[in-house]
Amino acid sequence: MNHYETVFILNPVLSDDQIKETVKKYEDFLVSRGAKMVAKEDWGLKKLAYPIQNKKSGFYHLFEYTVDGEVINPLEVEFRRDERFMRYLTVKLDKHAIAWAEKRRNRDKQKA
């Protein structure tokens, strides 16, 4: 089992219900294939550094999870097929990145 982090940007024209439904769909997709969710973060609506699909903002979300490597390709194929996604990035975390992500989560909990 490898440790991964996926950040994705959803289209800003989506309603709150559509965003929640989309996030839930892909969380279920991962869990149904044996993933263990470590953390989920909703970063909200953010301004983009440059326009993507003529949009100047997007809804950012982060998934951190552990799963076998064979699941990543089907996940990214689903992202490409779904028009609600503007961009996505999946990164395999090494031991230093895992420690940093845990430190970031703990820092965010203290702020809340």
Kindly report the CATH number assigned to the domain that includes residue 22. Answer: 3.30.70.60
Cα 29 to Cα 14: distance, rounded to the nearest angstrom: 20
pLDDT tens-digit series, residues 34-79? 999 999 999 999 999 999 999 999 999 999 999 999 999 999 999 9
Number of domains in the chain: 1
User: Minimal CA–CA distance to 72: which of 29, 15, 16?
Assistant: 29
Q: What is the pTM of this model?
A: 0.90
- Angle (CA) 73-99-40 rounded to 5° is 55
Its domain, for residue 65, covers 2-111
Q: Which residues are bridge partners to 40 per DSSP?
A: 63
Pick the closest to residue 7 from 109, 71, 91, 103 (CA basis): 91
Q: What is the CB neighbour count within 10 angstroms for residue 36? A: 11
pLDDT given for residue 112 in this prediction: 65
Structure tokens at 37: 């969710």
